[in-house]
Amino acid sequence: MENGILLINKEAGMTSHDVVNRVRKIMHTKKVGHAGTLDPDATGVLVLCINKATKALQFLTADEKEYIATMSLGTSTTTYDASGDVTSEKEFTGYHHLEKVLSSFIGKQKQVPPMYSAIKVNGKKLYEYAREGKKIEVEPRDIDIKEIELLKEEGHEITFRVKCSKGTYIRSLCVDLAKALGYPGHMKKLIRTQSGAFRIDDCITLSELEQGEYKIISLEEAFSSFDKIVVEDDSIVTTGKKIKSDIDHQVAVYSKSGALLAIYGPDGKGNLKSMRGLF
């Protein structure tokens, strides 16, 4: 039984769960999970955990992401992307100070997620309320836009690269950017080029997976960017004991033989405690 990380370049027209189901059939296992949902119209990096590696999902979803997005100025939609119904239009006559507007969105900020999203409010997903025509208050969320780079300008369409924190909705970002430029707008195209340490160049297609052309990434390799602690006795981890340390961030804990045992994090009292065992 294979255990580890599988990197898929998701094609447009599939949900992330569609990809999981395909991989379950191809790999002949029910234990497959994905780290970070991609909308059906979006393409790019989808990180999948296979079998025992599903225990690592919570750590892989916490990483920052990188996208290449194309926004369209002059038309807004219900879903904030090209698949939605048009809600408003404005003739495109050009814009000013694009670079200044883009750079003004860099940094920590509040963002209102789209109504057509899977965020739950009172036990119900926002898109379920939206499909029923019900209006509901959506709380802004804390996000961090780390980088924005203009890649292309072509009439009313602007393509940019963005590096951002977990939980950032690029659809909302496109709508907010368009508003700052004086237009209704929506996201026309989205490619996730990086999720944490995993890049699109390292991904395979589902067709390649079906043909057996794939590589499973071990957990040791997947967490190689984490700071490392080696324990003399594995029972320290298996019994959930804390490790005395002033480290203030998550670390990967290994056995003397080089096996990844767990991810530990600070308890605020001068110790590291197990976040979750991976053995």
Question: Which of 129, 163, 123 has the alpha carbon at shortest distance from 143?
Answer: 163
Per-residue pLDDT of the chain (279 residues; tens, 9 = 90+): 788 999 999 999 999 999 999 999 999 999 999 988 898 999 999 999 999 899 888 888 767 999 999 999 999 999 999 999 999 999 999 999 999 999 999 999 999 988 888 788 888 888 888 888 888 888 899 999 999 999 999 999 999 999 999 899 999 999 999 999 999 999 999 999 999 889 999 999 999 999 999 999 998 888 888 889 998 888 888 888 899 988 888 899 999 998 888 899 898 899 899 886 665
Strands (E), the chain: 4-10, 32-35, 43-50, 65-73, 75-77, 86-89, 107-111, 120-121, 124-125, 141-154, 157-164, 185-195, 198-199, 227-230, 243-244, 251-254, 260-266, 271-277
pLDDT at residue number 152: 98
Residues 6+ apart with CB under 8 A from 193: 44, 45, 66, 67, 68, 161, 199, 200
Rounded Cα gap, residues 165 and 36, in angstroms = 12
* Residue whose entry in the numeric block shows the structure tokens 């984490």: 226
SS3 content of the chain, % helix, strand, coil (to 5): 20, 40, 40
Catalytic residue among 18, 39, 248, 267: 39
Query: Tokens at residue 70, please?
Result: 């194309």
Q: Is the dihedral of CA 22, 169, 112, 79 positive or negative?
A: negative
Residue pair 145/162 in contact by the 8 Å Cβ criterion: yes
Residue pair 23/209 in contact by the 8 Å Cβ criterion: yes
pLDDT at residue number 276: 67
pLDDT at residue number 275: 81
Give the CA distances from residue 79 to residues 75, 175, 222, 234, in Å, rounded to whole numbers and listed in that order. Answer: 12, 10, 34, 49
Query: Tokens at residue 276, please?
Result: 């979750």
Residue pair 180/106 in contact by the 8 Å Cβ criterion: no
Catalytic site residue 39? yes
pLDDT at residue number 236: 86
Phi, psi of 90 (to 5 degrees): -150, 135
pTM, entire model: 0.89
Rounded Cα gap, residues 126 and 112, in angstroms = 12
